[in-house]
Amino acid sequence: MALAIMMASFAANASVLPETPVPFKSGTGAIDNDTVYIGLGSAGTAWYKLDTQAKDKKWTALAAFPGGPREQATSAFIDGNLYVFGGIGKNSEGLTQVFNDVHKYNPKTNSWVKLMSHAPMGMAGHVTFVHNGKAYVTGGVNQNIFNGYFEDLNEAGKDSTAIDKINAHYFDKKAEDYFFNKFLLSFDPSTQQWSYAGESPWYGTAGAAVVNKGDKTWLINGEAKPGLRTDAVFELDFTGNNLKWNKLDPVSSPDGVAGGFAGISNDSLIFAGGAGFKGSRENYQNGKNYAHEGLKKSYSTDIHLWHNGKWDKSGELSQGRAYGVSLPWNNSLLIIGGETAGGKAVTDSVLISVKDNKVTVQN
């Protein structure tokens, strides 16, 4: 392991990007023509953009998101427009809920519109990627179960006994009883219609990292149920318009992480960071469904590369982090924001590059 870590180097140049205007975690982001867009999460309804090619790089505030503050939304650029999918926020009655709506942002007019389009299931903890002009969504929590949990908490008010009972009831189930989404949905922006595009032969996850290149997309780790991660890696192969699901060797074993970061640099598949509960997998396998009860959330510094059909630990982040934004930039993995130990939101960015299986980390 020491040898693998020595393969990584830390670049000492100027900061990758200027600090985000606010500490930024649990939001979403996308990149289009070298301009980065980030918003929601700890930024509330705010959105910002940054031209990465500008001589004087700075974040510029955009029109506020009209759907209220959201966490765990996803976003994607298609044909010059930014689409934002779902997320978790407050409804008109002030209750926390999962949304299944779609908003579109037009960069030319700096304006938002809510589309008359709803996914057939809630979108939170899901992933989104673009292939052949369509957005694809998979994974995420079950809308009915998640919304019901927060309805119960709202009714409990400040009754700690009732809250403890609700939490025990919510977390003390097997993974399959949470019905995480294992369907693959496609969204066609030209018709604003959702379609069935397939389903995983295994199980759905929440908070997975996603990256795609050409006809292949990878879903890495994530939650198998609330508080329990998986070390699984799934590959979706669209080659020949005949979707195939493959399962690759696991990573971050045995416990796995959620909220990690994934990207590609010089054809090397990268997986970094994430958060999880060490010992939760063993607890679950020993029959304890509330597997993370009493465990402290830990944040991974590991950087893994997929090489010759297996994962190699090939470097480390300067500090563990999770739940930021992963974007492709300069043939590298760009990480913006995230949270570190204790859930603290950060404002910096990290760039991970790979050349000849050597990892370079620029802070």
By annotation, the residues acting in catalysis are 223
Give which of 337, 126, 118 is closest to 222, Cα–Cα: 126
Per the DSSP assignment, residues forming a β-bridge with 109 are none
Residue 184 contacts residue 236 (beta carbons within 8 Å)? yes
Give which of 145, 149, 143 is closest to 118, Cα–Cα: 143
Residue 359 contacts residue 312 (beta carbons within 8 Å)? no
Residue 302 contacts residue 285 (beta carbons within 8 Å)? no
Max Cα-Cα span within the chain: 58
Residue 217: both structure tokens together: 């997309």
Residue 89: both structure tokens together: 């926020």
Q: Return the exposure string of 24-50: e unless at least 16 CB atoms fall within 10 Å of the residue's CB, then b.
A: bbbbbbbbbeebbbbbbbbbebbbbbb
Helix locations, 256-317, DSSP H: 280-285
Helix locations, the chain, DSSP H: 2-6, 143-156, 160-171, 280-285
- Measured at the alpha carbon of residue 65, what is the angle toward residues 153 and 130, in degrees to the nearest 5? 95
Residue 343 DSSP one-character state: G
Residue 183 contacts residue 156 (beta carbons within 8 Å)? no
How many CB atoms are closer than 10 A to CB 244? 13
